[in-house]
Structure 1
Amino acid sequence: MNWGRLATSLMLAATVGACSSVAPNLPRGASAYSVIPAASGTDTTRNYEIGPLDVLQVTVFQEPDLSFDELQVDAAGNLLFPLIGDVRATGKTARDLSLEIAQRLGERYLVNPQVSVLIRSSVSQRVTVEGNVTEPGVYDIRGTSTLLEALARAKSPTRVAKLDEVVVFRVIDGTRMGAVFDVKAIREGEADDPVLLGGDTVVVGFDSVKGAFRDFLTTAPFFAVFSRF
């Protein structure tokens, strides 16, 4: 076999393959952020919706007996709170839940109660990271995360990852949507870091040039490649 010709053919094929996007129909650049908004300039925890098994910190000011460092939402999505019983927590933001607890306490037990709810940990929210990362998997997130944080949890993209072809998929109003981001630009501060939510899937693209050339050098006899050009 002529290894020189094979090497040349593989490199040409890889170069042609690299010219085509792995996600040609998905929005990218500025349009991507209309699907998956950026973290900058937003309070990402304010809009987080509580889910089953999340752990909350609930504080009723000047009422230590009604203040708790950790209260867990049950599997059905309810929070059992003293005096007022079950409170529906799933689907509410921390602010919404604090207002409801304050309202129900004020109806019978306290005068103008001030209630604060914070998300201590989010057990129910997970992000899937696939593709060319060191450790693909499903990762728990605390309320919200960002794309760079999720990639760090997966031990970062591999050396053959296509950093300008990182796709985030999300179900929005029952429809699965996606957007393409340039992680290199985000790392260098040239683009914003998008916010991820529970249920999102991140897919890191594969650089066909680097991958094909690396695989070829791994399988072909090194001396033969260069001795027969």
Structure 2
Amino acid sequence: MKILFSVLALCLAVWQPPVVLAQVRGAEVPPQSSMPDPVPGVPTSAASSASAGRAMPLGTLASLGADYRIGPNDLMDVEVFGVPDLKRTVRVNSSGQVSLALVGNVEVAGLSAQRAEILIAQKYAEKYLQNPQVSLFIREFTSQRITIEGAVAKPGIYPVTGQVTLLRALALAGGGAPFSDLSDIMVFRVGQDGVKTTSTHNLDKIRAGATPDPLVLADDVIVVKRDPVRAALRDSLFRDVLDSINPFSIFAPK
């Protein structure tokens, strides 16, 4: 009989759900985590940091294009993986250099963030570290210039600071001039590798939210063309008005 009761008790214990068992034993069931599984080969802290992203101060870019080139007064974080003592927040000086622990001044102006990472890693690898992994994060960027020309109110070369999109750039130039063609704005760019690219944008669609407002980078040239049809129509009407008020126009050869 004792054996029968023992078997029944064992069956009841197996049948009970885990939550009930935990309550009986006085333990709490840990809540199920909604975090993704760690990425193989990446420390847990690094994986969570990558998923959450870094907070950035107002007026800076969360994501810079690969063609962005570092310039004087840019503020950046420099880290060496596994060596927290080498972490620095540095500003590029007027000579285009940053001062880092152990290696001293490193010239980074004119480089992309990726190339600056490679250069700094090489500096540390020369004397101090074996296969260092350097990460560079640009917090603030300044000292950039763009050129806006063509059918705008105030064409010229404009210094810009922080995040500048195409809409903001054209606002600096006073917007489009009369008979400007805002549906075919051209942006000329020279990449880090020297490759020249050209892109076209429709400002009306950008204003309507149909297409994203693209980021303007340093040394970009923005060209706003004149609408030839509207300009020709204006010129034709202007000539007709002049002819109507010119008493000698009736003697002009046809």
Which residue number corresponds to residue 186 of structure 2? 167
User: C-alpha displacement at 1:186, in angstroms?
Assistant: 1.2
- Specify which structure has the bigger relative contact order, considering alpha-carbon pairs within 8 angstroms and separated by 6 or more residues: 1
- What's the CA shift for 1:54? 3.2
Matched, 1:221 2:242: yes
Find the partner of 1:209 among 210, 229, 235: 229
Seen in structure 2, the aligned counterparts of structure 1 residues 181 and 118 have a Cα distance that, compared at 3 Å, is: closer
The DSSP-based 3-state class of the residue aligned with 1:196 is coil
Give the one of 203, 206, 217 matched to 1:186: 206
Moved more, 140-149 or 188-197: 140-149
Q: How does 1:72-111 map to 2 (within 5 A)?
A: 72-75=92-95, 77-81=96-100, 84-92=103-111
Tell me which residue corresponds to 1:157: 176
Partner SS for 2:232:
helix
**Partner SS for 2:210:** coil
Distance 1:58 1:50 in 2: 15
- Rg: which structure is higher? 2
Give, in angstroms, the shift of residue 51 of structure 1.
Answer: 2.8
For residues 169-221 of structure 1, give each alpha carbon's deviation from its aligned partner in whole angstroms, at most 9, with x where no partner exists: 12244343312221111111122222222121111010123323434538943
Q: Give the secondary-structure state (helix, strand or coil) at the position aligned to 2:181.
A: strand
Letter in 2 for 1:217: F
1 CA distance for matches of 2:211 and 2:70?
A: 30
Alignment of 1:68-147 (within 5 A): 71-75=91-95, 77-81=96-100, 84-92=103-111, 117-123=137-143, 125-142=144-161, 145-147=164-166
SS at match of 1:206: coil
Residues 91 and 72 of structure 1: CA distance in aligned 2, closer, same or farther (over 3 Å): closer
Structure with the bigger percentage of strand: 1
Q: 2:215 aligns with which of 192, 195, 207?
A: 195
Question: In structure 2, what residue type is equivalent to 1:165?
Answer: D
Range 162-171 or range 88-97, more displaced: 88-97
State how many pairs are aligned: 179
CA distance in 2, matches of 1:218, 1:152: 32
Percentage identity across paired residues of the two chains: 28
Native 8 Å contact 1:79 1:86 kept in 2: yes
Q: 1:165 to 1:89 in 2, by over 3 A?
A: same
| 1:48/1:93 contact within 8 Å kept | yes
> Could you tell me how far 1:93 is from its partner in structure 2?
5.3
Asked if 1:44 is matched to 2:63, the reply is yes
TM-score scaled by length of structure 2: 0.52
Aligned to 2:184, the other structure's residue is in SS state strand
Q: Could you tell me how far apart the structure 2 residues matched to 1:169 and 1:46 are?
A: 15
Paired residues of 1:46 and 1:95 also in contact (CA < 8 A):
no
